[in-house]
Amino acid sequence: MNVAMSVTFIGGGNMADALIGGMLKNGFAPAQLRAVEVDGAARRRLADKHGVECFDEARKALRPGDVVVFAVKPQQMQEAARFSGLKENANLVISIAAGVTLASLSRWLGGPTGNYVRMVRAMPNTPALIGAGVAGLYAPKLVSEAERKQAEAILGAVGATVWIEDEALMDAVTAVSGSGPAYVFWFIEQLSAAGESLGLTPEVSRKLALETVLGAAKLAAQSADSPAQLRERVTSKGGTTEAALKAFEEHKLAERFLRAVEAARDRGAELGAALEKD
């Protein structure tokens, strides 16, 4: 891991907090990391929690050669980029804003030329808050291998990373892993509620549902077998699991789930298109 770099986060919310914490655990020194946050209380929390310098303006925080991580909401990206004070292609820029294309970010950062090219687009997810996230990363060809490794060192501090070769597929990444934790939380809710409807107490049903999902995910992660093979191993012919899976098939649950993930992907594309107009 490259810990020689210095990094400035623009935005001091939950994801920046998680990334800073993960990087410190992975060998970065507090002096290497800075954060820009307009809210005074949030600045103080970050400074007190991590021992990093925090600023109210990017122009005050940026050092020559800093990797700059934009960790603001998509709706705030245009303003944050235009007032960042970045010189054209002077810094590697990483964006974790959902739906914001590199074309938009290049235009906002590039000033009159609109040609900022040293950029990486990343889509982390909320399990990063406990160091168990996964992030999809995309970079144009002009981004060097060393810069890719810098992006990996930052996003990889809170979980796994995967590189995506086509930026258009970042909306699919958002739909699968960015929104994915909500699908899992929803499934836990439904499994727990089903247990209650069958007579279990809320406490017992919630624990059974939560530990089942946690254990199954761990087993799938550690097994050389595919999820389909693991599912088949649990499904005895004529048994209880087979009865449940047949009900899933009868109600076309797989098709409906695909439609839901497609809806998330399409909404991500819509949001990105709306931002493109700015």
- What CA–CA distance (Å, rounded) separates 106 from 82? 10
How are the residues of the chain apportioned to helix, strand and coil, as percentages rounded to the nearest 5? 60, 10, 30
pLDDT of residue 49: 97
Statement: residue 155 has pLDDT above 60: yes
pLDDT of residue 42: 94
Q: Judge: domain 180-271, CATH 1.10.3730.10.
A: yes
Tens digit of each residue's pLDDT (9 = 90 or more) over 61-115:
999 999 999 999 999 999 999 889 888 788 999 999 988 999 999 989 876 566 7
**Which of 81-85, 239-243, 260-264 comes out lowest in average pLDDT?**
81-85
Report the chain's mean pLDDT, rounded to a whole number.
94
Tens digit of each residue's pLDDT (9 = 90 or more) over 22-36:
999 999 999 999 999
pLDDT of residue 87: 84
Residue 151: name the closest of 32, 18, 19 by CA: 19
Q: Judge: domain 7-167, CATH 3.90.230.10.
A: no
pLDDT of residue 151: 97
**Where along the chain do its domains lie?**
7-167, 180-271
Strand ranges of the sheet holding 119-123, from the earlier edge strand across to the other edge: 53-55, 33-36, 7-10, 67-70, 93-95, 119-123, 133-138, 159-163
Residue 116: name the closest of 162, 70, 54, 72 by CA: 70
∠ CA 137-141-143, nearest 5°, is 70
Q: What is the pTM of this model?
A: 0.91
Tens digit of each residue's pLDDT (9 = 90 or more) over 179-213:
999 999 999 999 999 999 999 999 999 999 999 99
Report DSSP letters for 119-145, one per residue.
Answer: EEEEE--GGGGGT-EEEEEE--TTS-H
